[in-house]
Amino acid sequence: MQITFRQLRLFLALAETGSVSAAARVMHVTQPTASMQLREVSQSIGLPLYEVISRRVHLTEAGHALARTARAIAGEWDAFEQRISGAKGLTSGRLKVAVVSTAKYFVPRLLGSFCKLHPQIDISLEVLNRDHVIARLRSNLDDLYVMSMPPPDLPLEDHILMPNPLVVIAPAGHRLAARKRVTLAQLQAERFILREKGSGTRMATDAHLRELGFVPGAVLELGSNEAIKESVEGQLGVSIVSRHALGPHHEGLAVLPVQGFPIQSKWHLVWPKGKQLSPIAEVFRRHLVEEAQGWMGGR
């Protein structure tokens, strides 16, 4: 097979963007050039690698296999470049991190000091729901991942990053907001506004409520913490959210001192087991752990 490294990079861009034109932009070539190069790759392999349906690229089985191979080769090359740069005293490179949506309330702050220390490093931060982060984790698309409920079926390197307490919130003027102690039974008549099923917060919430033997009388599901906070503030019901989602100021909302809460969830920093972190990813991992500990101590 006669395939160049640049052609592998182009095919990998195609696999990750799902579009020939987008892959061409990533590789800084024209679309006709990208199309020609991709045809050459398919001809060299001798099997169809993708098909276009409704203007969207869908990889064949051979295409998925080539994408995995190209990703592994590109990852090894990037790590090699970083090691050579480090030997020369340079600190340039690229770091890719994917986090679940609730982690957006603290991860960017932890990234700040790292960016100041290493201004030449390009950082890609993907903020997605849990299912999409797990999909990227399965495909090994990023260096590191932050989530509260790692998938139990994947072999992972798993490090506890920091606590993720889940608290019960209500409108600031709620009838129970001034109480020193509230029982779940007192909330039986309330509508519970919860994250969608499959989110880490919802999974931890459902497991905890089952353990306590409590079944909400009515449930409204919403797909974002912002929508939940707005709905609670608008007196549509109460909710269970990460304390991090409230930030330092949450006028219009009250944290209820409910018996059995907060739920003691945790944030995890994970990556596929057996994966060798690049030098930059390893430096960032240590930095993230140190900053998280310092940030929690400061809070």
CA dihedral 195, 253, 291, 281 (to 10 degrees): 20
Computed over every residue of the chain, the mean pLDDT equals: 88
What pLDDT does residue 275 have?
87
**Which residues make up the CATH 3.40.190.290 domain(s) of the chain?**
163-265
CATH fold label, 163-265:
D-Maltodextrin-Binding Protein; domain 2 (3.40.190)
- Summarised one tens digit per residue, pLDDT across range 182-241 is 999 999 999 999 999 989 999 999 999 999 999 998 899 998 999 999 999 999 999 999
- Summarised one tens digit per residue, pLDDT across range 161-177 is 999 999 999 999 899 98
**Which residues make up the CATH 1.10.10.10 domain(s) of the chain?**
1-90
- Domain 1-90 listed as CATH 2.170.150.20: no
How far apart, in Å, are the Cα atoms of 176 and each of 182, 229, 253, 269, 293?
7, 17, 12, 36, 33
Read off the tokens for 150.
Answer: 């790692």
CA gap 36, 27 in Å, rounded:
14
Q: What is the pTM of this model?
A: 0.72
Residue 71: CA count within 13 A, CB half-sphere: 19
